Amino acid sequence: MPRTLLTADARRPDLVDAAVRRFARGGYAGTSVASVAAEAGISAAYAFKLFPRKEQLFAAAVDRCFDLVVDALERGADTAQGEDADAVLDAMGGAYAALIADRDLLLLQVHAQSVAEIAEVGAALRHGLGRVAELAAERSGGTPPQVQRFVAYGQLCHLVVTAGLDDVDADWAHALTAGIRHP
């Protein structure tokens, strides 16, 4: 049976998905393009043909992460038990909490924040956060302070999960984790 070669357009999404996984585990500095390429089943040379610089590949992974976040938030908004802003934002938050049970997406966002000074990464991170904030405002009809709390709460969820605060038995940790639900 003849082997079908995939075009660059067909391989690019596989490489980006592999980048989400690898960069989430190793961060920007600790992950080579060669390791991402190997996970995607392509050569490093081909990966560099698709994304000539590591920064571009990392930014594409951040973009993919926020595509998944926005999709989850949309689905969450569709399930809201009411039309008021708080009900919609709560449903969106629940959908986000379920999504980041996949720690790759959560960790990639944390790693992106840590290297946001890299122009492409910072731009991708700001674009993704903008998409989230605009969607939250549009779907909920919430005020800017409500949208701010929604995004801030999401960032607090990241901190609770990454720092393992659920396992800390101290008053300060209980204060930070009160009311936060996540898988």
Structural domains in the chain plus CATH codes: 55-177 (1.10.357.10)
pTM: 0.91
- pLDDT tens across 88-133, in order? 999 999 999 888 888 999 999 999 999 999 999 999 999 999 999 9
Q: Please state at what angle helix 54-78 crosses helix 119-140, rounded to 10 degrees.
A: 10
Give whole-number Cα distances, 134 to 7, 29, 68, 109, 183, in Å: 34, 31, 15, 18, 26
Cβ neighbour number for residue 24 with a 10 Å cutoff: 22
Tell me what pLDDT residue 182 has: 60
**1 has a pLDDT exceeding 70:** no
Locus of tokens 């802003």? 85
Retrieve residue 88's tokens. 């919609």
Q: What is the dihedral sign for C-alpha 124, 47, 40, 2?
A: positive
- pLDDT tens across 133-169, in order? 999 999 999 999 999 999 999 999 888 888 989 899 9
**171 has a pLDDT exceeding 70:** yes
Tell me what pLDDT residue 102 has: 82
- pLDDT tens across 74-86, in order? 999 999 998 999 9
- pLDDT tens across 13-28, in order? 999 999 999 999 999 9
Return d(Cα 14, Cα 105) in angstroms, integer. 16
Confidence of residue 36 (pLDDT cuts 50, 70, 90): very high
Give burial (CB, 10 Å; 0-12/13-18/19+) of 168.
Answer: middle
Query: Could you give the dihedral angle defined by the CA atoms of residues 64, 65, 68 and 69, in that order, rounded to the nearest 10 degrees?
Result: -140
Give whole-number Cα distances, 177 to 29, 61, 124, 130, 181, in Å: 30, 29, 29, 26, 8
